[in-house]
Amino acid sequence: MRKILTFISLVILTQSASAEKSWPYASSEPIRIIVTFTPGGAPDILARALAEHWQKDFNNQVIVENKPGAGGNIGTELVTKSNPNGHTLLIGTVGTLTINPYLYKNLSYDAHKELEPITFLASTPNVLVLNKNVPADDAKSLVNLAKSQPNQMSYSSSGIGTSIHLSGELFQQLTKTKIKHIPYKGRAQAMPDLLGGRVQMSFDNLTSAMPLIKSGDLKAIGVTSLQRSPHAPDIPTLSESGVPGLKNFQVTSWFSLMGPAGMRKEDINKIAAETKRILSLPEVKERLANMGLEANPQGPEALQRLIQADSKRWSKLIQETGMTAE
């Protein structure tokens, strides 16, 4: 009997150890968080906040890899082709998940079928900013200026298909203006030209733009949310500008955690729970809030609904404007 009990105990211990090792972060394999844009933007900030705590909590090496290019498609494709063991994750954006699938006609992957939603991370409104020398101080004067010189003004974005790009296209459609779009490989490349006056305006993430707005290097015209941001209450919304067409103007940049298709449900739920725990820490919430990011972790089902809703919205705009990208 003693031998039988010993054997049963060994089986239980072995099963427990196996179950523990089945959790992605229990192995010694490094955790890779793929960011599809250059360092310094909101996706990068979120990835590094997660990496900092995961590395301490699980004693794993956590690597944030910036894979910019093609509007985020390069990094996204890398994750779709990765082992679905929970060790390669993606900071998904509204652009890579709900815009690019309709904007790019020759993608070699299907983001809706080859990625698993894990959790919503955070959101931030975009903010319309101008080079400080542009002779406009509010939305009305900017629209009048743009109408007086069609196709002479330009706006930058961190890439074709980003929410920054689509914000500009929607702005033109609603205000009946013509402003040239100048896409860059990432925000780090776009910002010097905006500051130097080679482009006149941009719809930047509020998170990224706040330091330059506070320093006076950029002029803030309006945020793209329906309510003023609690992190920048002095900046009006475009919706309240009084410009015909801009009432109810709303574009939100949001960020999520995704993995390759085929991940186990239990791994998805564990990663989502750990992410929620980290984003709920007071010091992390404060750090993100100071950068204009509202952390609001939600599970895979809520994220899937958001992806479907925004896909419907942006595919309609892309079809109406005839936008396309190679």
Amino acid at 35: V
- Of the CA atoms within 13 Å of residue 281, those in its CB half-sphere come to 14
Say whether both 147 and 244 belong to one domain: yes
Residues 287 and 227 in one domain: no
User: Quick one: pLDDT at residue 1?
Assistant: 53
Is residue 130 located within the same domain as residue 243? yes
Domain end residue (candidates: 214, 232, 252): 252
Residue 25 has a pLDDT of 53
CA distance 90 to 47: 9
In terms of domains, do 111 and 192 share one? no
In this structure, the answer to whether residues 35 and 116 fall within a common structural domain is yes
The mean pLDDT of the chain is 89
Confidence at 136, pLDDT banded by 50, 70, 90: very high
88 occurs within a structural domain: yes
| pLDDT at residue 4 is higher than 50 | no
Domain count for the chain, please give it.
Answer: 2
Together in a domain, 161 and 306: no
Residues 99 and 34 in one domain: yes
Domain end position, chosen among 207, 233, 252:
252
Residues 200 and 248 reside in one and the same domain:
yes
What pLDDT shows up at residue 13?
43
Give percent of the chain above pLDDT 70. Answer: 91
Q: What is the CATH number of the domain that holds 264?
A: 3.40.190.150
Give 20's pLDDT tier (boundaries 50, 70, 90): very low
- C-alpha closest to that of 111 among 122, 91, 96, 121: 96
Classify 116 as helix, strand or coil.
strand
Answer whether residue 292 shows pLDDT above 90: no
Residues 199 and 229 in one domain: yes
In the predicted model, what is the mean pLDDT of residues 249-260?
Answer: 94
pLDDT higher than threshold 90 for residue 11: no
Q: For residue 20, give every residue at least 6 positions away whose Cβ sits within 8 Å of its Cβ, in sequence order, or none.
A: 26
Identify whether residues 221 and 306 lie together within a single domain.
no
Do 159 and 239 share a domain, yes or no?
Answer: yes
137 and 206 part of one domain? yes
Which residues, 6 or more positions from 139, have their beta carbon under 8 angstroms from its beta carbon? 128, 221, 222, 238, 241, 242, 243, 246
293-to-213, 255, 276, 287 alpha-carbon distances in Å: 16, 10, 15, 9
Q: What pLDDT is attached to residue 57?
A: 81
Mean pLDDT throughout 221-240? Answer: 93
**Spatial CB neighbours of 38, under 8 Å, sequence gap ≥ 6:** 44, 66, 68, 158, 185, 186, 187, 188, 189
Say yes or no to pLDDT of 137 above 80: yes
Give the pLDDT of residue 21: 38
134 neighbors 101 (Cβ within 8 angstroms): no
pLDDT at 145 over 70: yes
Report the Cα 86 to chain-centroid distance in Å. Answer: 20
Domain limit, last residue, from 236, 252, 268: 252
Both structure tokens of 120: 């919503």
pTM over 0.85, yes/no: no
Domain residue limits at 147 = 125-252
State the Cα angle at 244 between 98 and 199, rounded to 5°.
Answer: 60
Question: What residues are paired with 257 via a beta bridge?
Answer: 91, 119
- Give 68 or 185, the one with higher predicted confidence: 68
The answer to the question of residue 304 being in a domain is yes
